[in-house]
Amino acid sequence: MQNLFLLLFAGYIGGLLLPLCFPTKPAVQNILAHGSAGLASGAGILLGVTGLFAPEPWTASVQSTIPFLSFAVRLDSLASLFVLTISLVGLVASIYAIGYVTEFYGRASIAALGALFNGFLLSMTLVVIADNGFFFLIVWELMSLLSYFLVVTEYEKAEVRYAGFFYLVMTHVGTAFIILAFLIFFQAGGSFSFEAFRHPEQPLPEGIRTLVFLMALIGFGTKAGIVPLHVWLPYAHPSAPSHISALMSGVMIKTAIYALVRVYFDFLGGQFPWWWGFIVLVIGAVSALLGVMYALMEHDLKSLLAYHSVENIGIILLGIGAGMIFQTYGLTEFAALGLLAGLYHTINHAMFKALLFLGAGSLLYATHTRNMEEYGGLLRRMPWTGAFFLIGAVSISALPPTNGFVSEWLIFQSLFLSFHLPTVLLKFMLPLAAAALALTSVLALACFAKAFGISFLALPRSSHARLAEEVPITMRIAMGLLAVVCVLLGLAPMVVVPMLDRVVTPFAGQSIEGKVLALDGWALAPVNMEFSSLSTPVLALLLVALSMLGLGLVAAFGGLVKQRYYKTWGCGINLTPRMEYTATGFVQPIKRVFGAIYQPTVKLETELLEESRYFAKRRHFEFHIEPVFQKYLYDPVVACFIGMAERLRVIQGGSLHLYLAYIFVTLIVLLLFAV
């Protein structure tokens, strides 16, 4: 395992340094950086798999001269799962990048992009295997900074700079809370090692534990993008190059989920009051609903996907929150199920979100625009990308028999088990969360019907779309790989569940593999066959067989008459793209029904013909939805800071002597204190 880890480390470092040796050849830099990253992430996949099935966690450490800091790594089953996920997405992103970054030749430094890409992957891997609080904070910060630089790759655009700045500020606010949480642990345990966090010398008092819970929730929640700390995410993720977006949305925000599970179930030992889990559950439900609702109104494909990340983080938290509630009441079996469902969705989301972002990147590559209203008819022009995007869309919409469905189904089941809980409030709130999940998933379905239908179907809506061509082979291979993984994760829960079971067993104190899998693994049956069961392989087989039956019926009843092709009837005139339903039009009913949430403002200006006021010469339509959180939560805070800064400006005289005087006075005061 050590060798694998060293290989991974060397690969990423090599990918970081090698391209810098060929300053003038972007093609060589490209191959070196991404080839090396691919090699390293391949090693990462092996490392993750062996780590998952290793009987004992693998540990290694290098002492440093800095007090309290040791470069300690520990690869337990939870860390292995995330290493595996990160590496898998990393491998695919590397393959994809070889084709995709040709876009940036001459516009950005490929060496820098490749180096940052490698560093980013390495830092994420280290985050999940770090075994020392200090070390964790360093790599966490490294991950944030590197991703910031990747976000601002196209720094010449003003909105990208804004997105980057916003991201930088938010992530540091989050980091501040994480540092506080870790300092509390440090004070109790006297050491930054995670072992000391796990078993402090004297147990933390209840109030302090609550403080840690909240700090971690805010700190890691900022990175994960929970509502209302999500506002940076829809700006930052789309601004990065698409393979980076895939990494950020697919796996970077998952490191926050990792950290939350680590802190709550590992460090705090799974002993908490019921309202912790309840808060996580409520945040999950709200994030899921608002995430998907804002996604529906978004017509920039990448921003839409970014909002869906908020939604899916919410869904993951629903599973984890349910697990925490069950844990409180000692229902370890169900707690394990909730946690397992949450983690299953974490992996699934990593895969289909990365796939969708890569698909969006391919569209951007082919059409040079992110605006969905300028797409259309792309399925005929880009059949491969279209097919892969469709698989991603079906998965994220949680339709059977894909992976998204399996994990949401498990979350449903764990929420349904709430009738075993002792208090009426919780018995009642968990089904409501299930209703919220149902609404979320069907809105996601509507959103992806829109995203796929408007982008890929009907007539091209602009010359960008008309002239689009299929993307290079490496990009197609990358998307194809992820599509296959998505399908497999859905059809083979018998492989995934035992892996996840190894992860949750230490935390929930019970292995539930035997309780979740039934019929030799061909069916999922949480808690028993009597309560619920699902077999996606059989469902998939059934769907295929019944489609064949449909074909058979057609052949039997009418014979396969040759079909005739003719243009769509356009009420007597030729159909043009302008008559098609737009993305804006598609979501109009939803906008209206949920008007209380969107607070839409619509502006319609019509210029009429002078001859007749029944004919319009020109129409201008625009609508905006109120960015509620930014307006009522962030703007006041920002205004407050700016106001304070204005006040403090008094001391800024601009004269060098004045500043020297400040330093002098400070020195004197400090000296006086010292005495």
Partner 1 sequence: MLQAIILVVAQMIVLLAVSPFLVGLIRKVKARLQLRRGASVLQPYADLAKLFRKQPVVSTTTSWIFTATPYIVFASTLAAGLLIPIFVSITPLDFAGNIIAVVYLLALGTFFLMLAGLDAGSSFGGMGSSREAIVASLTEPAMILSIFAIALTKGSTNLSTIVHKTALLEGIATDPSPYLMALAALLIVALAETGRVPVDNPATHLELTMIHEAMVLEYSGRYLALIEWAAGLKLAVFLSLIANVFAPWGIATTLAPTAMGIGLLAYLLKVSGLAVLIGILESMFAKLRLFRVTDLLGVAFILALLGLLFFYILRS
Partner 2 sequence: MQISSHIGSQLVDLCSALLLLTCFAIVAQRRLSACVDLFALQSAFLVLTAALVAFLTGNHHIYIAAGLTCLIKVIIIPRVLKKVIERLNVKRELVMNVNVPAGLLICGGLVMLAFFITQPILPLGFLLTRDSLAIAFAIVLIGFFTMIARQKAVSQLVGFLVMENGLFLGATAATYGMPLIVELGVFFDVLIAVLIAGIYTNRLQDAFDSVDTSHLTGLKE
Where does this chain bind partner 2 (CB under 8 A)?
424, 428, 596
> Nearer to partner 1 by C-beta: 57 or 400?
400
> Nearer to partner 2 by C-beta: 542 or 593?
593
- What residue 412 binds from partner 2, partner 1, none (CB within 5 to 8 A, per partner kind)? partner 1
> Nearer to partner 1 by C-beta: 117 or 448?
448
User: What is the smallest separation between the CB atom of 407 and partner 1, expressed in angstroms?
Assistant: 12
DSSP 265: I
User: What is the smallest separation between the CB atom of 95 and partner 1, expressed in angstroms?
Assistant: 26
The tokens of 45 are what? 């996949």
Distance (Å, whole) CA 338 – CA 342: 6
User: Tokens 């609903």 identify what position?
Assistant: 289
- What residue 568 binds from partner 1, partner 2, none (CB within 5 to 8 A, per partner kind)? partner 1
- What residue 519 binds from partner 1, partner 2, none (CB within 5 to 8 A, per partner kind)? partner 1
Write the single-letter amino acid at 523. Answer: A
- What residue 282 binds from partner 1, partner 2, none (CB within 5 to 8 A, per partner kind)? none
- What residue 130 binds from partner 1, partner 2, none (CB within 5 to 8 A, per partner kind)? none
The C-alpha torsion from 22 through 23 and 27 to 30, rounded to 10°, is 80
> Nearer to partner 1 by C-beta: 138 or 379?
379
> Nearer to partner 1 by C-beta: 78 or 394?
394
User: What is the smallest separation between the CB atom of 432 and partner 2, expressed in angstroms?
Assistant: 10
- What residue 27 binds from partner 1, partner 2, none (CB within 5 to 8 A, per partner kind)? none
User: What is the smallest separation between the CB atom of 83 and partner 1, expressed in angstroms?
Assistant: 32
Based on the number of CB atoms within 10 Å of its own CB, is 655 exposed (0-12), middle (13-18) or buried (19 or more)? exposed
SS3 of residue 617 by DSSP? strand
Instruction: Check the CA dihedral 660-665-666-670 and report its sign.
Output: positive
User: What is the smallest separation between the CB atom of 458 and partner 1, expressed in angstroms?
Assistant: 4
Widest CA span of the chain, in angstroms? 102
> Nearer to partner 1 by C-beta: 140 or 405?
405
User: What is the smallest separation between the CB atom of 392 and partner 1, expressed in angstroms?
Assistant: 13
Residue 71, Cβ neighbours under 10 Å: how many?
17
For 657: left if phi > 0, alpha if psi spans -120 to 50, otherwise beta; the answer is alpha
- What residue 324 binds from partner 1, partner 2, none (CB within 5 to 8 A, per partner kind)? none
Phi, psi of 140 (to 5 degrees): -60, -45
User: What is the smallest separation between the CB atom of 427 and partner 2, expressed in angstroms?
Assistant: 12
User: What is the smallest separation between the CB atom of 556 and partner 1, expressed in angstroms?
Assistant: 9
- What residue 523 binds from partner 2, partner 1, none (CB within 5 to 8 A, per partner kind)? partner 1
- What residue 399 binds from partner 2, partner 1, none (CB within 5 to 8 A, per partner kind)? partner 1
Distance (Å, whole) CA 83 – CA 60: 16
User: What is the smallest separation between the CB atom of 162 and partner 2, expressed in angstroms?
Assistant: 36
- What residue 246 binds from partner 1, partner 2, none (CB within 5 to 8 A, per partner kind)? none
- What residue 100 binds from partner 1, partner 2, none (CB within 5 to 8 A, per partner kind)? none
SS3 of residue 61 by DSSP? strand
8 Å CB contact between 22 and 36 = no
User: What is the smallest separation between the CB atom of 446 and partner 2, expressed in angstroms?
Assistant: 18
Phi, psi of 71 (to 5 degrees): -80, 75
User: What is the smallest separation between the CB atom of 412 and partner 1, expressed in angstroms?
Assistant: 5
For 93: left if phi > 0, alpha if psi spans -120 to 50, otherwise beta; the answer is alpha
> Nearer to partner 1 by C-beta: 558 or 654?
558
- What residue 49 binds from partner 2, partner 1, none (CB within 5 to 8 A, per partner kind)? none
N-term to C-term CA, the chain: 55
Strand partners, 58: 75
8 Å CB contact between 68 and 190 = no
8 Å CB contact between 398 and 486 = no
Q: Please name which of 95, 123, 138 lies closest in space to residue 248, comparing C-alpha atoms.
A: 123
User: What is the smallest separation between the CB atom of 440 and partner 2, expressed in angstroms?
Assistant: 17
Distance (Å, whole) CA 198 – CA 78: 15
Between β-strands 517-518 and 523-524, what pairing exists: parallel, antiparallel or unpaired?
Answer: antiparallel
The tokens of 413 are what? 């089941």
User: What is the smallest separation between the CB atom of 596 and partner 2, expressed in angstroms?
Assistant: 7
Beta carbons within 8 Å of 614's beta carbon, 6+ residues apart: none
Between β-strands 58-63 and 523-524, what pairing exists: parallel, antiparallel or unpaired?
Answer: unpaired
> Nearer to partner 2 by C-beta: 293 or 355?
293
Distance (Å, whole) CA 227 – CA 137: 24
- What residue 596 binds from partner 1, partner 2, none (CB within 5 to 8 A, per partner kind)? partner 2
For 572: left if phi > 0, alpha if psi spans -120 to 50, otherwise beta; the answer is left
